[in-house]
Amino acid sequence: MSRKKAGKGKNANSSPTTGSPKTGSPTGKQKGKTGKSTVGTGSVVQANGMVHPSRPSLSNSSEFYDIAFKVMLVGDSGVGKTCLLVRFKDGAFLAGSFISTVGIDFRNKVLNIDRLKVKLQIWDTAGQERFRSVTHAYYRDANALLLLYDVTNRTSFDNIKAWLTEIHDYAQQDVVLMLLGNKEFGVPYMETSAKSGLNVELAFTAVAIELKHRSMKEPNEPKFKLQDYVNKEMKSAGCAC
């Protein structure tokens, strides 16, 4: 299997993207937390979800990967999508005043799963209604969706149903879906905290394992059970949930 270099993500010219939407380019800009902006470029995405950079990386990242997937963070504005991604990527919590994401943005992270380097290209979407048409165009290339709600915000919980309808309308049928913060709607569930780091690593790792298994499954290999894995990991970490 060929090895590829993982771009750092924040600069469109240095990173592989899926080229969504069809018009070629995207997007809005991410103001605020990271203070950087993203403009998408074209590249090839195979049916199995692997992302192959269509141009050489200009990034100074020296990280290589074997297989890559697109993951999208969706959910109401203010539920903590950007904070969760920053916690996962940089291990830090973005405290202070809330600055809403404008448009869409992404970061890359490479995980070691079963001796393979699995690159997640993680798209952070704006939760505000006015950016919905921008983010819709990105759903179809997503291999996994993390749908977040805020456990302290009833409205964000009530809106989960509408988000699921949106996902049903725009995402691939077999997209890996994880609901963060809720036990209902029949999808794998876990609670996370961008502030404390609770389960952040586990949420993304579980999705990466599921994606890798789906993509490279041996005929007799037992099916990876995402929720079982999450439960087991939380148990062994001594979580009382």
Ligand X SMILES: Nc1nc2c(ncn2[C@@H]2O[C@H](COP(=O)(O)OP(=O)(O)OP(=O)(O)O)[C@@H](O)[C@H]2O)c(=O)[nH]1
Residues that bind ligand X (CB under 6 A): 77-83, 94-95, 98, 100-101, 126-128, 193-195
Q: Which does 6 bind (CB under 5 to 8 A by kind): Mg ion, ligand X, none?
A: none
Q: Is 7 helix (H, G, I), strand (E, B) or coil?
A: coil
Q: What's the closest the beta carbon of residue 74 comes to Mg ion, in angstroms?
A: 11
Q: Is 148 helix (H, G, I), strand (E, B) or coil?
A: strand
Q: Which does 78 bind (CB under 5 to 8 A by kind): ligand X, Mg ion, none?
A: ligand X
CB of 98 or CB of 185, closer to ligand X: 98
Residues near Mg ion (CB under 5 A) are 81-82, 101
Residues 43, 53: contact at Cβ < 8 Å? yes
Q: What's the closest the beta carbon of residue 63 comes to ligand X, in angstroms?
A: 25
- 240 burial (CB, 10 Å; 0-12 / 13-18 / 19+) is exposed
CB of 63 or CB of 150, closer to ligand X: 150
Q: What's the closest the beta carbon of residue 177 comes to ligand X, in angstroms?
A: 17
CB of 99 or CB of 216, closer to ligand X: 99
Which ranges of the chain does DSSP label H, i.e. alpha helix? Answer: 81-90, 132-139, 154-158, 160-170, 200-216, 226-236
DSSP state of 131: G
Per the listing, tokens 């993500």 go with 9
Q: Which does 95 bind (CB under 5 to 8 A by kind): ligand X, Mg ion, none?
A: ligand X
Q: What's the closest the beta carbon of residue 81 comes to ligand X, in angstroms?
A: 4
Distance CA 235, CA 14 (A): 40
CB of 48 or CB of 196, closer to ligand X: 196
